[in-house]
Chains A and B, each alone.
Chain A
């Protein structure tokens, strides 16, 4: 019973962390119809930036990195994505090389194989229904869910939010009614980048910051985007809950190193039997 509670509580907490990290990826892929593999690598860059800035400016580093990540993702969009956004294969391949290039640079700057830890905002543990949970994770989980619900509100109650949801459903129709796809993509990259920076603090703080830390979040982002459906915040929120719980259950009952395999299996099952995801659009 205890272990079931543990899986559920940690599942919900990790769901929100993964939601923060994935929301940009999900909306960007939905809007553009391409996969931007550089985003998980930027998560690693953000985590390193926080670790390095923390001794100098304390926890303000999280805010600085969030803003910096918003700017970085915007520049990334303008330089690498916008010129070739009509060709998803080029975007996909260019961003893979970019991600690996970023990994190599980080490995040269910070020693590869070494794991860095940032100072947590809350270092004590809190008991939730008898399960001890790190206070930092509860804070991350709460902020994550607030951010996701805020985004859900924006996408359902504001014009810009409705446009974000509408474009993936009909790019031509969006063009006809005068929606500026480029501006909306820029906005999504910026907001997605900021949330990625926030997610990097909590995720990096929990698993440790290392040059290879971006690979597994890439699996998570793809699985959540597939299961939830691209371009759908609501679908993504359900997907994060499902994936967070499956992941924690796999780590608890089987082996942490098999979790990527389990998540990929889940994504494959959805791609084959329900390509639209829980409540989104068919991808690819």
Chain B
């Protein structure tokens, strides 16, 4: 575990370096970190459980809207809204998705989770819900979380802390059971364990991280609207980020989030949103087929070579000192 901790500290240092170097474009750094949280939490469940959860934004949306509703309509203090938003988002999303992933087999889970966000985005904008949710316009203004170096650094710390806890979970006995279940659920069942119980835990932690990201993102945006909560494009963007970076690797998802947000930043002055989407989806499509483990897998070869060289140098030095 110590090695994992060092790796996450190294990741944090890199992210803090990005914050320092791109102080002039803090909004992009902060947005990339938010998407890093979303993409990593999505990968944590999808990459390791074997279920393709296309309803991950249910957590972000429920959390964000709960916090926004309490803040906008009742005027409750920001910290309380954030806490309650996280609780409602995590539990609401988990209570919906967990039984579905247990009861519905195969691709139907993926399809249901995917279509749920279509249904929710329509429901939020409907006349029935609009007195509470603000309909198409959404809820704005909200008590905001403002762009600053402190926020960017704090989010980087939060992201890496989540990453470390996720790694710790995956290294635990529960994580090992999940790994076995991903290969073959019947083996786990024969061993007397219910694989869904373990993947359910994975979903809960993944949902908690997404809910924390969701409430913070809504207040950072200053508004709760469909486009930053339940939107189909929002969900697919998260998925594409994880695919580009590497959906089976937590750091890969973070890499993907940063790459896509910064690619968007570069493309923005030259083309409209749909052309950007087309390019990003196109890259996601190509990487999905050509590099299924994402761009981070391309770094493994030089990394392995580098670590072998370091080990070799150390061994030679040890041998010399022994002589």
Contacts and interface: CB of A to CB of B under 8 A. Distances in A.
Q: Do A and B bind each other?
A: yes
B317 interface: no
B4 to A, nearest CB: 29
A108 B278 contact: yes
Interface stretch (B69-77, B115-123, B172-180, B191-199): B115-123
B126 interface: yes
B232 to A, nearest CB: 7
A107 B52 contact: no
A128 to B, nearest CB: 29
A267 B125 CA distance: 22
Interface stretch (B27-35, B79-87, B104-112): B104-112
Nearest to B128: A255
Contact of B275 (A104, A255, A271): A104
B149 to A, nearest CB: 35
A97 B277 CA distance: 10
A282 B115 CA distance: 19
The binding surface of chain A is classed by DSSP as helix
Contact of A104 (B103, B116, B281): B281
A97 B240 contact: yes
B148 interface: no
A284 B288 contact: no
B170 interface: no
Interface string B279-295: 00110110011000000
B108 A226 contact: yes
B104 A284 contact: yes
B274 interface: yes
Given A108-B278, A222-B115, 12 more contacts: A89-B107, A90-B288, A92-B107, A93-B52, A94-B289, A256-B126, A260-B119, A261-B123, A263-B119, A264-B116, A271-B104, A272-B103
A255 B126 contact: yes
Contacts of A261: 119-120, 122-123
15 contacts: A35-B107, A88-B107, A90-B288, A92-B107, A94-B288, A108-B272, A216-B118, A218-B118, A219-B118, A255-B127, A260-B115, A260-B119, A263-B119, A264-B115, A271-B112
A284 B105 contact: yes
Main secondary structure of the interface of B (DSSP, over half): helix
A276 to B, nearest CB: 12
Given A93-B52, A271-B108, A284-B104, A260 B236 contact: no
B119 A97 contact: no
A204 B35 CA distance: 36
Q: Enumerate the 3 nearest inter-chain pairs by beta-carbon distance, A residue then B residue, closest first.
A: A284-B106, A257-B126, A104-B278
Given A94-B285, A264-B116, A258 B126 contact: yes
Most B CB within 10 A of own CB, among A101, A226, A256, A272: A101
B110 A92 contact: yes
Nearest to A88: B107
Contact of B107 (A107, A215, A283): A283
Contacts of B240: 97
A284 B52 CA distance: 13
Contacts of B100: 268
Contact of B52 (A92, A112, A267): A92
Range of interface residues on B (Cβ < 8 Å): 35 or more
Contacts of A268: 100, 112
A100 interface: yes
A258 B121 CA distance: 10
B285 A97 contact: yes
Contacts of A283: 106-108
Instruction: Report which residue of B103, B122, B240, B284 has the largest number of chain A beta carbons within 10 angstroms of its beta carbon.
Output: B122
Contact of B281 (A100, A256, A260, A271): A100
A105 interface: yes
Interface in B279-314: 281-282, 284-285, 288-289
Nearest to A112: B274
A88 B111 CA distance: 12
Contacts of A218: 115, 118
A254 B275 CA distance: 37
A98 interface: yes
A271 B105 CA distance: 9
Contacts of A259: 122
A223 B123 CA distance: 17
A222 B114 CA distance: 11
A34 interface: yes
Contacts of A184: none
Nearest to B123: A261
Contacts of B233: 100
Nearest to B289: A94
Contacts of A100: 233, 236, 277, 281
Contacts of B275: 104, 108
B270 to A, nearest CB: 14
Nearest to B107: A284
Contacts of B285: 94, 97-98, 101
Given A101-B278, A271-B112, A260 B103 contact: no
Interface in B231-256: 232-233, 236, 240
Interface in B199-244: 232-233, 236, 240
A269 to B, nearest CB: 11
